[in-house]
Amino acid sequence: MIKTIVPAELNEKKDKLRIMDQTLLPNEEKWLELDDPESIWEAIKMLRVRGAPAIGIAAAIGLYVCSLRSQAENVFEFGKEFEKIKDYLATSRPTAVNLFWALNRMTDRFHREKNKSIDEIKWALLDEAEKILSEDQAMCRAIGRHGLSLLKSEMGLLTYCNAGGLATSGLGTALAPIYLGCEKGYNFKVFSCETRPLLQGSRLTAYELDKAGVDVTIICDNMVSQVMKEGKIDAVLVGCDRVAANGDSANKIGTSGIAILAWEYGIPMYILGPTSTIDLDTPTGADIKIELRGEDEIGNSFGRRTAPEGVKAYNPAFDVTDAKYITAIITDRGIVKPPYTKTLMELFG
């Protein structure tokens, strides 16, 4: 059975958030233990922990471990401190709805327990954070099973960014059907786009697939059309950071271009994500806030200048794939097909 790294979890004593610093991959596997709001915020912001579900898990555990340090003498004070940390962590990254979904779940749990003692509330918060993590593992497996039902052995599969184990607490979303297929002896040929500017595709996806013994080939992002034209791609599998009520789906910048190419070449475009990424409160993709990141990630990435000093760079971190280019959205609850406004509401409303 394939085992993936759990990138965000509690440490053994259950008093710190333990994350693998993904900015160092593939060169170094280094774990960090964090228990203060500033370092947890920084770890999410700087992508030490990243990928929509993992961000949510890190925030939930982070909120719990920070609340452990509270010196509040009554529940009212404790609640005020809790809200402050929650609001602060919510400012770390805007696009992945999982961050807000997880923080809201922790808050709802707090409110359900507010008539209990501070210690009892802390136990409840621990329980909620652990549930968020274990439910994510189960959701990944379910996504994998549904996704695999659409695939056959020997297929060429294209993926983008990292929607694997490193982005979740389980088998990932887009990579889950690949892992489950490999467990069954399917012989997939996976193409992983590098994913400029931060190279999640080559640094992370190729890393974890290769480690698991999956046949993976890296291509530069601008090679997708040629590789599709050569007939090497039978399906595109990507993750998502937020799926709007009409099916428009935000994912790593560059995904929407791949979807348009897949449409042109008649290749199925699958978006894979858990319930925690479906956001029926966001009507369309136009309502999704796209994170803008620093210019240095483009002109000075990985500590070396690749553009002249002083030249401007524009760096949106996500884009929205219009629902019309999406063949199906594969979730833990099942496979959703157009018309998405109706089918998403039926499954998640």
Interacting residue ranges for ligand MRU, rule: CB under 6 A: 47, 50-53, 96, 161, 163, 167-168, 172-173, 200, 239-241, 251-252, 317
Q: Residue 333: which of 146, 181, 173 has the closest Cα?
A: 146
Please list the residues that pair with 243 across neighbouring strands.
249, 278
Minimum CB distance to ligand MRU, residue 154 (Å)? 25
What minimum distance in Å lies between the beta carbon of 297 and ligand MRU? 10
User: Looking at 15, 221, 241, 287, which residue is catalytic?
Assistant: 241
Token pair belonging to 233:
């791609």
Comparing every residue's Cβ against ligand MRU, the nearest one is 239
Paired sense of beta strands 278-279 and 334-336, if any: unpaired
Q: Which is nearer to ligand MRU, 4 or 251 (CB)?
A: 251
Contact call for residues 335 and 272 (beta carbons, < 8 A): no
Considering the complex, state which of residue 79 and residue 254 has its C-beta at the smaller distance from ligand MRU.
254
Q: Which of 176, 163, 184, 145 is nearest to 250 (CA)?
A: 163
Residues 54 and 9: beta-carbon distance below 8 Å: no
Q: Between residues 67 and 255, which has the closer beta carbon with respect to ligand MRU?
A: 255
User: In the bound complex, what is the minimum distance in angstroms from residue 263's beta carbon to ligand MRU?
Assistant: 19
Are 301 and 270 in contact by the 8 Å Cβ rule? The answer is no
Per-position DSSP letters for 86-145, written without gaps between them: HHHHTTS-SS-HHHHHHHHHHHHHHHHTTTS-HHHHHHHHHHHHHHHHHHHHHHHHHHHH
Query: Partners of 217 in the beta sheet?
Result: 191
Query: Nearest-CA neighbor of 128 among 139, 116, 115, 113?
Result: 113
Within 10 A of 87 (CB to CB), how many other CB atoms are there?
A: 11
The question of whether 248 is a catalytic residue gets the answer no
Name the residue nearer to ligand MRU (CB basis): 162 or 327.
162
Q: Shortest Cβ distance from residue 254 to ligand MRU (Å)?
A: 9
To ligand MRU, the closest distance from the beta carbon of 200 in angstroms equals 5
Kindly tell me which of 47 and 85 has the beta carbon lying closer to ligand MRU. Answer: 47
Beta bridge partners of 19: 8, 32
Residues assigned a catalytic role? 241
